[in-house]
Amino acid sequence: MTGLSKWLMIIGAIIFVIGFLSQLINIGKLPGDIIIKKGSTTFYFPIVTSILLSVILSAIFYFLGKFR
């Protein structure tokens, strides 16, 4: 297996695990997320969840870069 295909499989597995854990933890419904319901249509924009994940991922990548 080449280097690129190996990394793609690792990244895919990480995304799968994160998706599975997010279903268990239910992180997607924080206060501040925008939910608009009109009739049979629902619009959901997870702004606070996006900001929180961005801060967490930025911290992780910062520390990985620091120790690399």
Whole-model pTM: value is: 0.57
Q: How confident is the model at residue 1 (pLDDT cuts 50, 70, 90)?
A: low
Rounded CA-CA distance 68/35 in Å is: 41
Q: CA-to-CA distance for 17 and 67, rounded, in angstroms?
A: 24
**Residue-level pLDDT at 2:** 78
Asked if pLDDT for residue 10 goes beyond 90, the answer is: no
Q: Is 28 helix (H, G, I), strand (E, B) or coil?
A: coil
pLDDT tens sequence across 15-60? 898 888 777 776 667 788 899 999 999 998 888 888 988 998 899 8
Instruction: Calculate the alpha carbon distances from 32 to 6, 11, 16 in Å.
Output: 38, 30, 26
State the pLDDT at residue 6.
Answer: 86
